Amino acid sequence: MLSLYCLLFFDLTLMFNMATFNSFSRILCLALASAATSSMAAANSKPTPCLDQFYQETAPQLQRESLKKDTTALCLNGFNAMHSGVSKTSFWVAEYLTPERLSIKIKREDSFHEEELVQGARATLKDYRGSGYDRGHMVPNADMPTKAAQHDSFSLANMVPQTPQNNQQVWRELEEGVRALVTKQQQDLYVITGPEYSGKNIKRLGNGLLVPTATYKAIYAPKSGVIGSYYVSNDMNELKPQVELLSICALEEKIGINLFPTLKDSEKRKIYNLPLKASNVKANQAISLNTTDTKSKCAASVAQKDIRATQQLFKPSDSYEGTMAEVLAKIEAQPQEQQTTEPKAVELQKQPTEPKPVEPQPQSIDLFKIILAILLGSLGYLVSKFLKK
């Protein structure tokens, strides 16, 4: 509608041979139209269900052909995963951490269960029994802000067979360090976690559950630019597994997955001094850059059509609570609703009712009215000039 008014206005100024005024009007109209469009876009933009767990709503891309067989995209509460029917684990699990999300603490309630959303081959509880391996969380239970999200975090689709010395010590400390980056330094973090399978003699548990040779955790903080990954051996013979800090490119080369398809290779080559435990993170001390990896081969770029195709795989399940922004908004509203008790309600009825404050209209609508008024006023001015001739 605004574009039609602008076009009509331009034609009239040309008709009346008002070149100077026409040039000015073009600049004014286009500038105001651009501002209105930006304002409307900002007002209408909101996270896409499921995709809000990914940086720029773009999921990791499996690039090695052997990884693409029998996969299932899972949109669960608090995280997403790409499950493999071959390994019977997920190749990657993605979560978006914010200070608001991690400020919510809920009591841990274990509920390990087989993932019903996986229709093909999947891990069972029986696979782990008597194996000596832990059911190791990829996305930690402590990152979950609701009971539904906590329940989903105990899905075997979020587990891999992890050595006790990895899971209960080294891995736990890394998880705490990652959370400290968010809570102590008040920044958002995109995290992708998963297993790596390398070598010809990969160990199997139960009915074919593969044991990872290593586990990884890749992180990216858009605000500070901190980026890099943890890589931890999953060898039962290692009493204290060593943590290796890798660039995203080096990790992608190992696992055959483009973890952050929208990031430039120049960013993926950076390796920051990531914390190995929470005590390594200081609120007023930035994480420093360690080095830049110039040797590793970064994952191949991903075509837009492939990005869109992968996005469409992630569909909310019946138990999906909503985007993390929606979930946190509901949680924030709960205490206010629970504060109202019956005696207080009676007491409030005796008090005079105050008029409700008028909600301000969105800025985009007011801006549109201003633009329309300017155009109509200018149009009236032109018509009056024409009639005087």
Residues that are catalytic? 137
In the three-class reduction of DSSP (H, G, I as helix; E, B as strand; rest coil), residue 151 is classed as helix
The Cα 168–Cα 115 span in angstroms is 23
Nearest to 232 by CA among 254, 210, 256, 249: 254
C-alpha distance across the termini of the chain, in Å: 30
CA–CA distance from 374 to each of 2, 210, 362 (Å)? 12, 68, 19
Q: Tell me, what DSSP letter sits at residue 167? A: I
Kindly state the tokens that stand for 171.
């891995």
Kindly state the tokens that stand for 90.
């997920």
The Cα 244–Cα 378 span in angstroms is 67
- Helix, strand counts (H, E) of the chain: 13, 15
The Cα 365–Cα 70 span in angstroms is 49
Q: DSSP 3-state helix, strand, coil percentages of the chain (rounded to 5)?
A: 40, 20, 40
CA–CA distance from 267 to each of 91, 97, 219, 225, 291 (Å)? 23, 20, 12, 8, 12
Nearest to 248 by CA among 229, 275, 273: 229
Contact 284, 42 (CB under 8 A): no
The Cα 71–Cα 67 span in angstroms is 8
